[in-house]
Amino acid sequence: MKKLTRNILIAAGAFAVAAVGTTLAVSRVLVDVAVKRKVVKLPDSMQNKLTGGLKDDPHSRLMLDAGESAQNLNTETVQIRSHDGLNLTGHIYGAQKPKRLVIAMHGWRSSWQVDYGCSVNFYHDNDCTMLYADQRGQNDSDGEYIGFGVLERHDCLSWINYAVERYGTDIPIYLLGVSMGAATVLMTSGFTLPQSVKGIIADCAFTSPQGIWEHIINNNLRLSSRLTYPIANAICKREAQFDGAEYSTIMALETNTVPVLFIHGSDDKFVPIDMTFENYKACNAPKQLLIVPGAGHAMSYVTDTKAYTRALLKFFYKCENNGFDEA
């Protein structure tokens, strides 16, 4: 009996060690995939699982094709220095007679061309000078890590200051973001912003790094975030220098005074629509909400372009004509 008990204890110990080892290994991979500049190559099936089937969305090809076309636009490349010493790159697509300036932040492991290629003509035709920023750790901007909005909100503020210095205080400025870019611009609203910042457009934003990581671990990867997330976050804090719970869109929106247009697709399997509802509820500033039926993650514009552009034009008008002050 003693021998049997000892064998059971040994087996249980070995299982526990193996489980801890597996959790550590999974956490390491998750951090590398999430925040390291160098892309970790995953099998297509795992990549699709991670993003909730984004690759299979019928609109993905349309966005990729539009992104390729956007690379041929005659843009001006500009650079600024971040608060922590990184060279950040932006691409300006100017309007002939600009009525407004839009600072656009792209999403996680994406690019401005892919996220805004389908809408670039709409903004241009409606007299918007566009400043498409490359997020830190991606594309032509410096940085070895992606900060899920916590770090990038400081970069967005730097782009706002650059825009004010270059274009003056008379032109209305808008902050535009998709996915992680949307979380970035919402977190930026927690700063005291110049009066010329008239509105924020947040398309399918998550609430915090912790919130989106736990959602993906639990729902997309079918793992336990209770075990995996604390380890992944500890690695992230040590290497990428941010904590997944240190800041959120909710914290920013509770003090924000700038009008916000919230947008989300009803069929988003990557960032849950409930996160936009949380953001909308937390926002005490003037706000509008557009839910696009049938749209997957970051696909609202291509799914219902008419509803999307109508909401944008209405938002611009209200922000620039004191429309939110009307009863």
Q: Return the C-alpha torsion angle 156, 159, 163, 165, nearest 10.
A: 120
State residue 71 phi and psi, 5-degree precision. -65, -20
Tokens of 106: 């792209």
Looking at the DSSP bridge assignments, the partners of residue 77 are 91
- Determine contact, residues 137/35, Cβ cutoff 8 Å: yes
Tokens of 126: 């409606």
How far is it, in rounded angstroms, from Cα 273 to Cα 6? 51
Domains and CATH numbers, the chain: 1-35+211-241 (no CATH), 53-208+247-320 (3.40.50.1820)
- Determine contact, residues 179/107, Cβ cutoff 8 Å: yes
State residue 28 phi and psi, 5-degree precision. -60, -45
Which of 285, 218, 223 is CA-nearest to residue 249? Answer: 285
Strands 128-133 and 173-178: unpaired
pLDDT at 326: 52
pLDDT at 60: 83
State residue 43 phi and psi, 5-degree precision. -60, 150
How far is it, in rounded angstroms, from Cα 122 to Cα 140? 25
Give one DSSP letter per residue of 162-231, joined into a string.
HHHHHH-SSS-EEEEEETHHHHHHHHHTTS---TTEEEEEEES--S-HHHHHHHIIIIIS---HHHHHHH
pTM of the predicted structure, to 2 decimals:
0.90
- Block means of pLDDT (10 residues each) for the chain, 327 residues, are 51 40 72 86 73 76 90 95 97 96 97 96 97 97 96 98 97 98 98 97 97 93 88 92 94 97 96 98 97 96 97 97 71
